[in-house]
Copies of this chain bind each other. A is one copy, B any other.
Amino acid sequence: MPPGLKDVAARAGVSVKTVSNVVNGYVHVAPDTRARVQAAIEALGYVPNLAARQLRSGRSGVIAVAVPELQSPYFAELAGLIVQAAERRSWTVLIDQTDGQAERERHLVAGLRRHAIDGLIFSPLALAGEDLEHRTDIPMVLLGERVWHGPADHVAIDNTAGAADATRHLCDLGRRRIAAIGVQDAPSAVTAHQRLAGYRAALAEAGLPPGPDIEATVAGFHRADGAAAMARLLDSGDPPDAVFCFNDLLALGALRTLLSRGLAVPGDVAVIGFDDIEDGRFSTPTLSTVAPDAVRIANLAVELLAERLGAGAPAAGPAREVRVQHRLVVRESTAG
């Protein structure tokens, strides 16, 4: 049985209140009393019991981060950065993967754990706006575009602009038949829709014709999906001379298909992705991409949550929207 406040109090010859004061850094404690208590704490190896503390205060010091999947390098990176940012506020982070299943996402938001976490940073995938309306108990920060208008802050990059930048880059290279890989039909696939919009806008701007034959649909955003989509594009009779993939994983898959068929990248087909994951810096060829400022995203998410959780803070203030910069990173897959 680990020592409690009571044990420390007994050993130091003071009351529990005094020990509590010392532990919580209360100011008005006589120096020698404080020293005696400190000594007792050290001697006993006292550690506050979080359960009891939470039961009293309602705060657990734990926030949750929910991402579609940890296997995806982008989300793994983001989760890691959020953990680092939260650590600076001495919060513990509970990382959850939803596998993009609405069921799991809903469970997470409404379920057992809502008692145990103070806040939630959530990167929704399957979950549409209405599902989130129910939840009003704990502060939440959404990652990604604003797809609903409930009382949650969110931080996002401009997906449409990023996609347009990528596509424009391909246009500037003189490519005339620029395909897109990553289209998704589901109405909840907001990211895919926005990147498609940006792609189309840039195409129109360059006077290039769009068309269903150069817009490849995928089931997921993984390498295998990109590889399969690229194969379809190549087999379709009139192959593209450039491809904008909606994320780097798709692009790496596409790259694989191109190279295994003996095509040159970027010679025959230029390829650009989105996310700037580490893999792209060491693939052959290295992968051009649109790089969101992930560090800033993580910091902002934690900061927004902190403001909602802060003592006199506007816990119920209006939802805020923060936009984070992105930049185009040109590497071998388009520069050559």
Interface residues of A (CB under 8 A from B): 2, 47-52, 54-55, 60, 69-71, 73, 76-77, 79-80, 83, 92, 94-97, 111-116, 137, 222-224, 227, 252-253, 255-256, 259-260, 278-279, 281-284, 286
Chain B residues whose CB sits within 8 angstroms of the CB of A97 once the complex forms: 80, 83
Q: Please determine whether B80 and A278 come into contact, CB atoms closer than 8 angstroms.
A: no
Q: Please determine whether A47 and B114 come into contact, CB atoms closer than 8 angstroms.
A: yes
Across the interface, A113 reaches (CB within 8 A) one of B2, B83, B92, B282, namely: B92
Chain B residues whose CB sits within 8 angstroms of the CB of A73 once the complex forms: 71, 73, 76
Across the interface, A76 reaches (CB within 8 A) one of B70, B116, B222, B260, namely: B70
The smallest C-beta distance from A295 to any residue of chain B, in angstroms, reads: 13
Q: Please determine whether A281 and B223 come into contact, CB atoms closer than 8 angstroms.
A: yes
Interface of A: prevailing SS? helix
In the complex formed, the residue of B with least CB distance to A226 is: B282
Chain B residues whose CB sits within 8 angstroms of the CB of A259 once the complex forms: 284
In the complex formed, the residue of B with least CB distance to A95 is: B95
Q: A50-B112, A71-B76 are in contact. Are A256 and B227 (CB under 8 A)?
A: no
24 contacts between A and B (CB under 8 A): A47-B114, A48-B115, A49-B55, A50-B51, A50-B115, A51-B55, A52-B55, A70-B70, A70-B77, A70-B79, A70-B80, A70-B83, A71-B77, A80-B97, A83-B96, A92-B94, A92-B113, A222-B278, A223-B278, A224-B282, A256-B283, A256-B284, A279-B279, A284-B284
Q: A79-B70, A278-B71 are in contact. Are A51 and B47 (CB under 8 A)?
A: no
